[in-house]
Amino acid sequence: MYRDLREEQQRTALLLSATQMTGSSLDLDEVLWRIAHWIAAAVGDSDCGIYLMDSQQRVLVPRFPTLALDRTRLAAFLSHPLDLATNALVREVVERGAPIACPDAAADPRLDHVAIRNLDVKSILAVPIVANDRVLGVAITGSADGARGYSDEQVALASGIAGAVALAVDNAQLYKEVQHRLAESQALQRVTAALLGKHGLAEHHGRWRRGEWPGGRAQGRRVQAQRGADGTQLIKSSWPETRVVVLTLYGADHAAAMSAGADVFLVKGCPSVELAQALESPPDQVQEVAR
């Protein structure tokens, strides 16, 4: 009875820690590290690997294992993404949004047996990480000590932990994406500033922002009031020699922008070198980019 009580206290402590994870960290690696260790502890396995869904929702990319992996098994884990098209068991976990236990991994035809051999696991438990009805990834625990089963309590606890931390994973991924885009934006600003300075265009840019475009303040304000293709067309009709580089969030606007007279079309997020090339090269030397 004492043992049962202690195990229940341990399960409660694990689930409580997972619940408190949301909002406590935006470091994705730290979040994944905690998930891996908590789920491994929940089911009594030495290993747990976290796989995150790629942007195309087709492949689970290995991101974080527990520290029980030696170098050979760690290399096998990191070099083996899980393709949903060929890994039936993981695909079933993702589609159902529910955990699946496999007591005898070598005998289960739904598994990638090459990966199972390389990782040297005999039994696995795959648990989806789901936030807002979207599968963010899958946590897979593994036992190398021989085939074993997983109790209903262990599966429920592992699933509860994954559910409790899913929002933390989502937040950490969003934060990392924002940081990445911010770094790109800052790099883009540095490139633009350098190019403006190189070509002596900084003063012209300031005059444009103040509505003092050649042709008078009223005409400059008229251009600023236009948007998209209309603005491009007005600029090209008023000053045909002016070079227009369109940088936008919407790739679908490519045809309209080019028809209006744009010299180059780029989508925000493109490599900085492409923007630099667009700003520096003559029109006939720039390749249009539509992403």
Domain edges within the chain: 2-175, 199-285
The CA–CA distances, whole Å, from 115 to 9, 87, 120, 160, 257 equal 35, 11, 8, 27, 49
Residue 132 DSSP class: T
Between CA 236 and CA 246 the distance in angstroms is: 13
**Per the CATH hierarchy, to which homologous superfamily does domain 2-175 belong?**
GAF domain (3.30.450.40)
Neighbours of 287 (CB within 10 A): 9
| pLDDT value, residue 191 | 64
| pLDDT tens, residue order, the chain (291 aa) | 545 545 555 655 655 565 565 556 778 888 888 888 888 888 888 888 899 998 887 899 998 777 555 778 788 888 889 899 888 999 999 999 999 999 888 888 998 888 888 888 888 899 999 988 889 999 999 877 777 888 898 898 898 888 888 888 888 888 888 887 777 777 767 766 665 565 555 555 555 555 554 544 444 444 444 556 777 887 788 778 778 888 887 777 888 888 888 888 888 777 766 777 776 655 444 333 333
β-partners of residue 245 are: 264
Between CA 136 and CA 131 the distance in angstroms is: 7
| pLDDT value, residue 2 | 46
- Prediction pTM value: 0.58
